[in-house]
Structure 1
Amino acid sequence: MTAVASTQKSNLKTGLLAGALAIGMVGVGFAAVPLYRIFCQVTGFGGTTMRVSEAQAATVQAVSKTIVVRFDANQRGLPWNFKPERPTDTISIGARDMTVFIAENLSDQPIKGMATFNVSPAQAGKYFNKVQCFCFTEQTLQPKQQVRMPVLYYVDPKIMTDPDTKDIEEITLSYTFYPVDQAGKGS
């Protein structure tokens, strides 16, 4: 084999390896968001709340200690009015409760939005359990339409025994609505 042929073969291997690495990195990039979301939902990392079923929620016993839950609503780039029906609620830890957020399309066109959420303080996220929620679901509001969006939730009594959370007296549940274009991608 000549030196030129050997160099060409080496360059081809290097090019194929670089191409495979680039394709792999693109795949990891696409998988990162859903994997991060799953990680946060499983661990409560960064104030991400836990999602539970009705059956799981039914097994939790309420205690006499209460906690204040504050509700926050924001929108980014939507001609919507978005707010909680009531700004705070005092609940018994472990008891299921419901709050309602109200969204109104102020424009004269149908608009799609999707909400994300977080809990603060962040360490309380793993104890804030949502049984039913409108988050991560596209919501289409017709012109001037107003909708009520319920959130069914409870605070796990384990919050009282965790050294990092036992002194928390108030939790904030915050939602932010973002526009979704017609192709189903966030704007």
Structure 2
Amino acid sequence: MSSTTRRRFQHPAALIGAAVLAASITACGSSDTTSATSPATSAPAPASASAAAGVLTVRDPWVKAADKGMTAAFATIVNDGDTDVTITGVSTDVSRAEIHEMAMADGKMTMRQKQGGVVVAARSQVALEPGGDHLMLMDLTRPVRAGDQLDVTLTFADGRTQTFTTVAKPFTGAQESYAPGHGASPAS
């Protein structure tokens, strides 16, 4: 092999090696155990997005399996950067989607679209979790079965986007219902 050819392949190999190492380290950071309030593991979770691949790091992404109607996606979103990042939108290829929150209204807990999005402060993280902020998938165009992998795209206030892959899992944990008429206010 000529020295020109060797130089041409050294850099991509280093990048691939670094990406594999980063994904391995990130994926090993979770110590999930299955319990009544954790999603049951039915398939291995996809590797988390690495900071080098996008604006934020997405850890332990998953979506609640559902046959029809609505469901929700969850993850821990990490901002290793020096500036705050605001997530203003979300999209998937299986439904329309919004950022939702659980909040008190008229003395009861309701689910509603989160105005202004989710701010992930510099050098911090935000949990998207059952009973709290989450990514709401509405009007599913097909069932989301345990083990299915879905691509979810986040849109940021500055117009950038980032896509990550999440896995569907059965979940009965906090007993919230992601169906119309079950504590969810209509989408704005």
Task: Give the alignment's TM-score, normalised by structure 1.
Answer: 0.34
Q: Which has the higher helix share?
A: 1
